[in-house]
Structure 1
Amino acid sequence: MTPASATDVSYEVLGFDQLDGWAEDDHADALKVFLNTCLDMKDPDWTALCNYAKAQPEPRQFFELFFRPVLIDDGQEALFTGYFEPELDGDRYRSARYRYPVYKMPNEALESNPWLTRRDILEGDVMAGRGLEIAWVDDPVELFFLQIQGSGRIKLPDGSRIRVGYRGSNGHPYRSIGVELVRRGVYQAHQVSAEVIKNWVRRNPALGRELLFHNPSYVFFREVSQVPSDQGPLGAMNRSVTAMRSIAVDPAFVELGAPVWIEKDGKNPLRRLMIAQDTGSAIKGAQRADVFFGTGDKAGQDAGKLRDPGRMIVLMPIQRAYALLPESAL
C-alpha cells in the first residue's frame, strides 16, 4: 500500500517502550478485535500473522514479537474525532410523520463519480418512483447525521428495527457544517458539537435546510439487518466494529485491519490499541482517526464531544515496517 502523495510522507519506526501507556493496555481485548477482520487481509505477511494469532498466543508478546510501531507523518496535525451508530424513528412506508427517505444507491451514482450534489438529489425528482427507499424517517437532521456516521438503526412503529450500512456516496467531498457555522460567526469552534448543530438547524428551519446543503456529499445505504443486535454495525471491511477498539482511518495511509496505537490527548486522554476497521468521507490523512463509541444516544453524546489532538502509530509486520524506511535510516 502506497499513500497517494508518498513524497510528502515520512516514516519512523519506534520501539514499544516509546508508546505511552502500552504496558497498561488490555492486549487480549485488542487481539480479539484484530482476529475479527485479519482473516480478510489477503497479503501473505498479514495472513501468516493472522494464522498465528488464531492459535491464541500471549497477546502482548504477539504484538511485540511480530510487529513494529511506525509513526506516519504527512505534515498534518493529528486529529481524533468520534462516531457512533445512531437510532432513528421510521417506517417502511411514507406517511405524514415519516417522510424523509433513506435511499439505496442508484446505478448512476455507481457509474459516475462525482454524481449529483446533495441539493440536486433532494430538490430534484431523480430518485422519485424508482423504489430506492429502504425506509422513511421523521427527522431530516437526524438523517443528515446518519449519513455522517455511515450506519445506524431505524426503529419501526411495531418495535422492530432495520439496520442500515454505508453503500457509497455521490462522490462529492464532505464539507463540515460545523466549520461553516464557525466561519459565519454563529459559534466559536469550542462550542460546536453535533447536538449544538442539530438544535440550531431545528430552531432555524429555512436557514438550517440551506446549511445542510453546504455539504454536497450524499451517502447511500444498504440494509444489513442480518447483523445480530449484540454486535456493532458493519465497517468498511464488512465486519462488525467494536466500541472503543475500532477506528476509521484513511486507507491511503493505514491498511484496513492493521492494529493502531492511539495516544489521544485532550480532556480525557486515551492510550489504547485499536484496530483500523472502517473508513469515512471526512477521515483524510495519516494522523486522522475516528473512534467508534457504540450504539445509541449516550454513545452519540460522547462521540460528539471528541475533537482532540495526539498521535497515532500503526503496528506493521516487521519486514513491511523496515521496508518503508530510506536506506540511509537502516
Structure 2
Amino acid sequence: MVHQTMKIRIRRAASASSRINHMSFPLRSLQRLSRAGRALILGTLVACAGQPPAPGPAATPSEPPPATAARVIEQPRSRWVPVGWDALPGWGEDQLALAWPALLRSCLKPAPGWERLCAEAAAIPEPDETTVRTWLQRRLQPYRVEAHDGSAEGLITGYFEPLIEARRQPDATFRVPLYRPPADFGKRKPYWSRAQLETLPAARAALKGRELAYVADPLDALVLHIQGSGRLLVTEPDGSQRLVRAAFAGHNDHPYRSVGRWLVDQGAFSLDQASWPAIKAWARANPGRVQEMLRVNPRYVFFREEPLPDPAVGPLGAQGVPLTPGRSIAVDRESIPYGTPVWIDTTEPTPAPVPQPRPLRRLVMAQDTGGAIVGAVRADYFWGWTEGAEEYAGRMKQPLRMWVLWPRS
C-alpha cells in the first residue's frame, strides 16, 4: 500500500488509542458516513495456519529475560542498540495481546530469521495477556533504533483507508473517474503526468475504457491518490450497491508534490493553519482554481478493484499481509524490515494548543511503507477506516522514538 500523508484538523475526542482498540460499527452505519473516509467494523483477526511445534516453557512476566550477549546491529539507514526491557517507556501498560493478531499476520510472510519463532507463536493455544508478554520477553531482545549519527528521535505521521461513494456510470453528480492502469502502462517510464493525462489527446486515449468507477468530488479522488487505496460504496447501473476496495495498482513514476504546501506558498493560509478542512474550504471558495491546484501534484495513481467479502479485513500493506488498525505501521525498509515488532513512544494527535497530549506507547508491526516514509526513526501509523480515522491520521505529526524487538541469538 503506497501512500503519502496529509495534515487535517481533528475534533477533541476520547483517547484515540483506546478508540482504535475497541471501535465497532454495524454495516448499516455506512448510510451515515461521509464520502471522504468514514467507515465500518474494526478488523477481525487471523492466525497462521499449519501445525508448528509447541512453545517452550513459559516464565512469569516478572521474571527477567535470560542474559543476552546482543550486539549493535547495523542497518543501511539505522543502527539498533541493545537495551533492557525497562528502557521501553510504558512497556508494562500496553495490552500486548491486542497486537498478537498483527504479529501472526506478519508470520504469514515471516522476516528472515523469524520462521521458527513464527511457528512457535502460531502454536500457542490461548495467547492471553500473560502468555503474550512472557513469550515476547523470553524470545525477543529489544533494540533502540537510532540514526547512524546517534539521533534517536524522529517523526510519526498517520494514514487511513477512505470510504467513498461511487457510481459505475457517470451522471450529473458523479463525474470524476478513477482509472485502472492503461494498456500501455508498462511501456512508458515515466508515464504521462497528471496534466498530460487530462489534456493530451494521446494520453486521454490511453485512459478511454479504463474507468473503474466515478466519484463526485475531485478531492475525493485526491484522497484516494494520496492514501493509495480505499473502499468504494459503488452503485451499479441496476441500482444495487456493493462495497469493494480500490487497491493500488501503480503510479506514473512522477514525484509526489503536496497541494497543501502549494496553497501555503500561494498565501491561502499559513503552514500552521494547513489542514484538510482548510484545503476543502479553499476549494469551495475557489472552484475555478481546483484543477490548477490538483495539477500541482504530477503523480497519478491507478487502481484495481478487489472484492471485499469481509469488510472487517484491512488493506494489504507492502509486506503483503492485511493491515491492523492501531497495530500496523509503515516504515523505511532500509531501517526496519517488514514483519518486525516495534515499540513506539509518541503522543496522540490533538488540536493545538493542548497542555498535555496523551502518550501513545504500544506494540505495533512494521508491515507497510510509503513514499514519504524515509529515515531511521520514521513511521506512518495506520488508523484504519472507522469513523474518525481520517481526522486522526491527518492530524498526526508527532515526535517519535522506536525500539525493535528481534529474535534472541
List structure 1 segments (4+ residues) > 4 angstroms apart after TM superposition: 74-77
- Secondary structure of residue in 1 paired with 2:105: helix
Name stretches of at least 5 consecutive residues in structure 1 with no aligned partner: 320-330
Percent identity over paired residues: 40
CA distance in 2 between partners of 1:91 and 1:36 (Å):
33
- 1:14 paired with 2:83, answer yes
TM-score (norm 1): 0.86
CA distance in 2 between partners of 1:20 and 1:108 (Å):
51
The partner residue of 2:226 within 133, 138, 148 is: 148
- 1:285 paired with 2:358, answer no
Which residue of 2 is the match for residue 327 of structure 1? none
How much does 1:273 deviate? 0.6
The partner residue of 2:141 within 55, 68, 80 is: 68
Q: How does 1:184-203 map to 2 (within 5 A)?
A: 184-203=266-285
Which residue of 1 is the match for residue 70 of structure 2? none
Q: How does 1:220-299 map to 2 (within 5 A)?
A: 220-265=302-347, 267-299=357-389
How much does 1:263 deviate? 0.8
Any idea what the Cα deviations from partners look like across 1:173-198, whole Å, max 9, x if unmatched? 22222233333333223322222222
Q: How many residue pairs get matched?
A: 315
Inter-CA distance 307–94: structure 2 relative to 1 (3 Å threshold): same
CA distance in 2 between partners of 1:185 and 1:11 (Å):
42
> Contact 2:74/2:80 (CA < 8 Å) preserved in 1?
no
- 1:24 paired with 2:93, answer yes
Inter-CA distance 69–179: structure 2 relative to 1 (3 Å threshold): farther
Matching residue's letter, 2:170: R
The partner residue of 1:51 within 111, 116, 119 is: 119
How much does 1:271 deviate? 0.3
CA distance in 1 between partners of 2:258 and 2:141 (Å):
35
Q: Which has the larger radius of gyration?
A: 2
- Secondary structure of residue in 1 paired with 2:209: coil
- 1:90 paired with 2:166, answer yes
How much does 1:107 deviate? 4.9
> Contact 1:227/1:233 (CA < 8 Å) preserved in 2?
no
- Secondary structure of residue in 2 paired with 1:160: strand
CA distance in 1 between partners of 2:263 and 2:139 (Å):
46
The higher relative CO (CA closer than 8 Å, separation ≥ 6) is in 2
Please, which moves more after superposition, 140-149 or 115-124?
115-124
TM-score (norm 2): 0.71
Please, which moves more after superposition, 214-223 or 155-164?
155-164
Inter-CA distance 183–34: structure 2 relative to 1 (3 Å threshold): same
- Secondary structure of residue in 2 paired with 1:156: strand
- Secondary structure of residue in 2 paired with 1:34: helix
- Secondary structure of residue in 1 paired with 2:196: helix
How much does 1:310 deviate? 1.9
Inter-CA distance 124–192: structure 2 relative to 1 (3 Å threshold): same
Matching residue's letter, 1:101: P
Any idea what the Cα deviations from partners look like across 1:122-142, whole Å, max 9, x if unmatched? 333424354322111111111
- Secondary structure of residue in 1 paired with 2:319: coil
Q: How does 1:113-128 map to 2 (within 5 A)?
A: 113-125=189-201, 126-128=203-205
Matching residue's letter, 2:120: Y
Name stretches of at least 5 consecutive residues in structure 2 with no aligned partner: 1-72, 349-356
Inter-CA distance 97–232: structure 2 relative to 1 (3 Å threshold): same
How much does 1:269 deviate? 2.3
Inter-CA distance 315–144: structure 2 relative to 1 (3 Å threshold): same
> Contact 1:108/1:115 (CA < 8 Å) preserved in 2?
no
Which residue of 1 is the match for residue 36 of structure 2? none
- 1:38 paired with 2:128, answer no
Which residue of 2 is the match for residue 322 of structure 1? none
Q: How does 1:152-171 map to 2 (within 5 A)?
A: 152-157=230-235, 158-171=240-253
- Secondary structure of residue in 1 paired with 2:388: helix
> Contact 1:164/1:225 (CA < 8 Å) preserved in 2?
no
